[in-house]
């Protein structure tokens, strides 16, 4: 901005006002431009690390891929996730986690060329796009290993040395994806495969991964339909008292009556149900059906017994779950003392204070509690003495090789002794032979479950067994 005059002299008062107004307007314009630039940057970059975000990536990647197609080279998209980052956040705080993310972002940026891209997707997930590499697998993997090594270098935070690894999934253009969306989906799939294989590794996308993902999606839909079509059923495995030789309880075991594949064991579908959250409605169905069946047997005049139902981790963490159990008992008109809920050690140890609170709420209703698979979940004895449980179930892995494995015999005897000293009942599952029964009796175990007495039976067959026992 300039003022011109015919004669030399200082600006007049009017001219000074004009200058001040012009300067003010220019300042507003400059600030507006800076604000627009700042907003534009924030819209296309991650606020924490300064890396491009997914919006900018999607705007630019299509053009980059077209250039690569013409040059007969590979573009390599790596989708990576930091391993156990949540543990760092939870133990050291989010400020430390944010600082670690900034350091990792800087290392990735330093490890790639100017023509490459590093993008933060969100959380601890990143995309790396290596632009224009020769079509040689070894060259690609070498470049990515260098980046992974750089990420894993020790970091000094809060006066301590930390190391963070990453799991990386890789897809190459154009062989393993023709578009940015396909590349990203396939690299994401490969990254989850890297997680499954123990983390801290690189996996390149394969067609087998796609087939497995498709099969998993199909199984998930079938599982939803099975719940809607009432394809699930319960089998009941008797639990026998060694003192009386009679059935005193039964464990309700879930089965899937598939219209094509027949009876499917829970081992084949429970992990998927857990992962998708379907285990909650399925578990509610099991609880309600088992209680209703037991009440029907009672009304038919069969000998009284306890029904034991397994509880999933997802169920146990549901809000007001004890109240939901109480509602099922009220709905089915079953007294709480006839219901036992089996909780695994690993489930309880995820959140000991929360687990104890829920267990006390269930105990207040009158429900019995048991720890399933005892000896496999690493529960501390200090925690065990606080659990309001009635029974311990010795895991079948300790019973199977009795009496041939001295270590299994020692562990089993120790569990029985521990239960007795804590005033708990103990039952051994997976009992199949006379020799196992004799050892368990001598060791003080009073209850067994397994093929030695009976395999799991459909409800009708179990009713026949109960009726014959009554006679």
Beta strands in 93-165 (DSSP E): 117-122, 125-133, 155-157, 160-162
Q: Is residue 221 part of a domain?
A: no
Q: How far apart are CA 90 and CA 97, in angstroms?
A: 9
Q: Is residue 135 part of a domain?
A: yes
Assess whether 236 and 346 both reside in one domain.
Answer: yes
Assess whether 285 and 429 both reside in one domain.
Answer: yes
Assess whether 314 and 380 both reside in one domain.
Answer: yes
Assess whether 346 and 465 both reside in one domain.
Answer: yes
Assess whether 119 and 256 both reside in one domain.
Answer: no
Packing angle between helix 54-71 and helix 180-196, nearest 10 degrees?
A: 110
* β-pair type (391-394, 368-374): parallel
Domain of residue 130, CATH code: 3.30.70.270
Q: Is residue 339 part of a domain?
A: yes
Q: What angle do CA 352, 157, 122 make, to 5 degrees?
A: 75
Chain mean position to CA 321: 20
Assess whether 83 and 195 both reside in one domain.
Answer: yes
pLDDT at 377: 57
Structural domains counted in the chain: 3
Domain of residue 464, CATH code: 3.20.20.450
Residue 254: phi and psi, rounded to 5, are -80, 140
Q: How far apart are CA 21 and CA 16, in angstroms?
A: 9
Assess whether 137 and 78 both reside in one domain.
Answer: yes
pLDDT at 378: 55
Beta strands in 356-400 (DSSP E): 368-374, 391-394
Assess whether 7 and 136 both reside in one domain.
Answer: no
Assess whether 68 and 39 both reside in one domain.
Answer: no
Range of the domain at 342: 229-470
Instruction: Answer yes or no: pTM beyond 0.75.
Output: no
pLDDT at 382: 62
Q: Is residue 201 part of a domain?
A: yes
Give the end of a domain, one of 154, 173, 205.
205
DSSP result, 152-215: TS-EEETTEEE---EEEEEEEETTT-SSHHHHHHHHHHHHHHHHHTTSSSEEE--HHHHHHHHH
pLDDT at 395: 86
pLDDT at 174: 83
Q: Is residue 218 part of a domain?
A: no
pLDDT at 260: 85
Q: Is residue 3 part of a domain?
A: yes
pLDDT digits (tens, 9 = 90+) for 184-219: 999 999 998 899 888 899 999 988 887 887 787 888
Assess whether 347 and 309 both reside in one domain.
Answer: yes
Contact 232, 256 (CB under 8 A): yes
pLDDT at 261: 85
Q: Is residue 213 part of a domain?
A: no
Provide block-wise average pLDDT over 10 residues at a time, the chain (471 residues).
84 90 92 87 86 86 79 86 88 88 93 90 91 85 92 86 90 86 90 89 87 81 87 93 90 91 86 86 93 94 90 84 92 94 80 84 92 68 76 89 90 89 89 92 91 90 84 60
Assess whether 40 and 58 both reside in one domain.
Answer: no
- DSSP assignment, residue 10? P
Assess whether 157 and 248 both reside in one domain.
Answer: no
Q: Is residue 49 part of a domain?
A: no
pLDDT at 470: 64
């Amino acid at each position: 901005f300039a003022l011109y005059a015919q004669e030399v002299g200082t600006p007049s008062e009017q001219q000074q006002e004009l200058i001040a107004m012009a300067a003010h307007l220019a300042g507003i314009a400059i600030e507006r431009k800076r604000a627009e630039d700042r907003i534009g940057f924030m819209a296309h970059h991650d606020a924490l690390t300064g890396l491009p975000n997914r919006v900018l990536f999607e705007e630019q990647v299509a053009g980059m891929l077209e250039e690569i197609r013409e040059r007969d080279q590979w573009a390599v998209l790596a989708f990576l996730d930091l391993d156990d980052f949540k543990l760092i956040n939870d133990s050291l705080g989010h400020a430390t986690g944010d600082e670690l993310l900034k350091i990792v972002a800087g290392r990735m940026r330093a490890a790639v060329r100017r023509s490459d891209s590093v993008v933060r997707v969100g959380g601890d997930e990143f995309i790396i796009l290596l632009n224009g590499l020769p079509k040689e697998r070894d060259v690609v993997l070498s470049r990515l290993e260098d980046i992974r090594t750089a990420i894993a270098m020790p970091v000094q935070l809060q006066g301590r040395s930390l190391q963070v690894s990453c799991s990386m999934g890789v897809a190459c253009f154009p062989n393993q994806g023709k578009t940015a969306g396909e590349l990203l989906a396939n690299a994401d799939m490969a990254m989850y495969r890297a997680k499954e294989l123990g983390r801290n590794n690189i996996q390149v996308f394969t067609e087998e991964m796609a087939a497995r993902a498709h099969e998993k999606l199909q199984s998930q839909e079938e599982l939803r339909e099975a719940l809607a079509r009432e394809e699930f059923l319960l089998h009941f495995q008797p639990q026998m008292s060694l003192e009386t030789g009679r059935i005193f309880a039964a464990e309700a075991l879930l089965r899937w009556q598939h219209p094509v594949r027949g009876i499917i064991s829970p081992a084949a579908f429970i992990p998927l149900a857990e992962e998708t959250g379907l285990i909650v409605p399925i578990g509610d169905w099991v609880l309600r059906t088992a209680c209703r069946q037991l009440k029907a047997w009672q009304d038919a005049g069969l000998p009284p017994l306890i029904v034991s139902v397994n509880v999933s981790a997802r169920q146990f963490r549901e809000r007001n779950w004890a109240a939901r159990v109480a509602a099922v008992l009220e709905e089915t008109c079953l007294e709480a003392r006839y219901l036992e809920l089996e909780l695994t050690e690993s489930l309880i140890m995820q959140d000991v204070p929360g687990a104890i609170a829920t267990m006390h709420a269930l105990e207040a209703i009158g429900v019995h509690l048991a720890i399933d698979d005892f000896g496999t979940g690493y529960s501390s004895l200090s925690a065990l003495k606080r659990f309001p449980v009635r029974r311990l179930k010795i895991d079948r892995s300790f019973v199977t090789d009795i009496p041939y494995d001295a270590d299994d015999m020692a562990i089993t005897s120790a569990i029985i002794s521990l239960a007795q000293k804590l005033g708990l009942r103990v039952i051994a599952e997976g009992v199949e032979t006379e020799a196992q029964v004799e050892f368990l009796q001598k060791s003080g175990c009073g209850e067994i479950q397994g093929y030695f007495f009976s395999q799991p039976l459909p409800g009708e067959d179990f009713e026949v067994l109960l009726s014959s026992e009554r006679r």
